[in-house]
Amino acid sequence: MDKAKIFAFVFFLLFSCRNNVEAKKLPALLITLSDDTIPITLDVPLNKIDREPAYHNMHWGMTYFDSTGVQQSIKPGEVAEVQFEYRREKIRMVSVKNDAGIANPFHSGSQYFFLLLIKDGSLRLLKYYPLPSLSPRCGVCAPSIDYILQKHQGTLTKINWDDFRDSMSLYFADCPELAIKIKQKTFRSEDIEDIVGEYNRNCL
């Protein structure tokens, strides 16, 4: 594929993603690196179809309005976390170092990104939503979501679903009882939230 076709593809992908999203202003909290809490009004991108937050548009930065109404931008690595509530659910986007090998064509130089926090504790479960892709069969298609683990605020580990039992048994070698439960299929891949919960209760 020549450069012109690559540019056209990337432009169309970016246009398609943005054209299917609209913003909604919601009250939010910005948690600074020094653990201060600042009230803001966050511009939350929503998918036009299901009205759910378009997380793929929030991983690499967000827009908000400060107490004086001035529009500002948030970059991952500059703050610790952004919190807001949507449909009675507390949403936490945490800033982490991108050491999981996750690439984005529009943010190739970014060392940090925001991830959606699913479960908190000594072991954290996070989600990354890749950009929608283009396909002749489905048009703009939503790719598989990446589930990511982080122990003790350390290195990120992307879950390998194809080798879940062996890779997770090894990952949880520091908690032998949990590793055995995964090896013996007491816990399966669909139980990942329960696995994280058990680690945080019994494997500290």
- Residue 70's Cα: distance from chain center in Å? 27
Picking from 17, 30, 24, 29, the residue whose alpha carbon sits closest to that of residue 43 is 24
C-alpha dist (Å) from residue 61 to 46, 51, 137, 186, 202: 15, 20, 31, 39, 35
156-193: per-residue pLDDT in tens? 999 999 999 999 999 999 999 999 999 999 999 999 99
25-49: per-residue pLDDT in tens? 999 999 999 999 999 999 999 998 8
The answer to whether 113 and 60 are in contact (CB under 8 A) is yes
The answer to whether 150 and 171 are in contact (CB under 8 A) is no
Q: What is the pTM of this model?
A: 0.84
127-166: per-residue pLDDT in tens? 999 876 555 555 555 567 899 999 999 999 999 999 999 9
How many other CB atoms are found less than 10 A from the CB of residue 72? 11
65-113: per-residue pLDDT in tens? 999 999 999 999 999 999 999 999 999 999 999 988 776 666 666 789 9
